[in-house]
Amino acid sequence: MIKIDAIDTQIIDLPTIRGHVLSMATMTEQSVVLVEVLFSDGSTGIGEGTAIGGLSYGAESPESIQSAIETYIAPAIIGMDGDAVNAARLRAQKAVVGNPIARCAVENALWDGLGKRLGLPISTLMGGAVHTGLEVAWTLASGDSDKDIAEALEMLERRRHRQFKLKVGKRAVRDDLAHVGKIKAALGDKAVITVDVNQAWDMHSARWGLKGLQDIGVAMVEQPIPAVQRSGLSMLSKSYEIAVMADEALRGPEDALNHARCHAADAFAVKIAQSGGLSPASEVIAIGKAAGLGLYAGTMLESGVGTAAALQLFSTVETLQWGTELFGPLLFKDDILTTPLRYADFQVHLPEGPGCGVTLDQDKIKFYRRGAPRQTPVKVSV
């Protein structure tokens, strides 16, 4: 039996190419928890745990992810059968309540290790890929209408993206609508426009906001009100033609089932980290599909490791009505993979090779590791 021998973690801090403006924070850096599982036969597996905006977005931070893994998950599963991924992830689930991102990072590393030992990609272990490339959206989040328009036109010209998500919610609804309307008018029918509010509106604002966005011609609005207000989200989804997507409200299969049961949304933004790993994310997908809801492959702004793991799962899904937003690696000034993921012809392409299909650039990891000495500063102040 090949046993789980050890689990190592480290935090790396990656600067972004520009300020990424959300309703609750402006990101100029992303902190990534990299996980390496070492097995008794000498093989290894890598995974990633990434939160957005520290604790301003959700209940997990890079520091808490690392602590949960080192203090609770690792002691619980070290010594277990390394090939028994389900047994190990279920043990980890019992060892920590919540902490889906920490559990996801470890589970991804276990799948990666198993795939490498078998010489197979994770997608094959999950039944086989039906797509080698997936439509990928880009988030316009500078907060400046003219900058966002210029950025979108450049992406269209380069054939990198033709669906754009706008981050709103930091300003008054009237100002947000003017911002979105200006961008939609500039792009016209050349691109699909969606909007993410990140829970920033109350119900009164959401009613006006959804009506305005619908009139502008926006295709979909994501999590306009707080995640706990499921009945409110249901009311909004039934009141407007614009599609309403649940995101932060989905913390795993149970949340997905409750939203599907009362038709609280028209679509699910499925995130492997928010779901707690590849296996529970596949359950969220199955629930959404069975309920006739649209599916969207979401991101926690992961680096290439987490993005590759997500691609392995979503490549096995027949229809993603809203595509994906697996653009995380493109948001950073540097890539930490020896061979970066390929973005071309409006798609992100499934990497080849066993496991997740990617390899870390150890020189880059050493440079960006938190606390490591650097010759040049990379952290940008807010």
- Which sequence positions are flagged as catalytic? 167, 325
Query: Token digits for 259?
Result: 């939203």
Residue 47: partners with Cβ closer than 8 Å, 6 or more residues away: 34, 35, 37, 104, 105, 106, 107, 108, 109, 110, 112, 305, 306, 309
User: Any idea how long the chain is?
Assistant: 382
Amino acid at 28: T
Q: What phi and psi, each to the nearest 5 degrees, are found at residue 236? A: -65, -40
Measured CA to CA, the distance from residue 111 to residue 114 in angstroms comes to 5
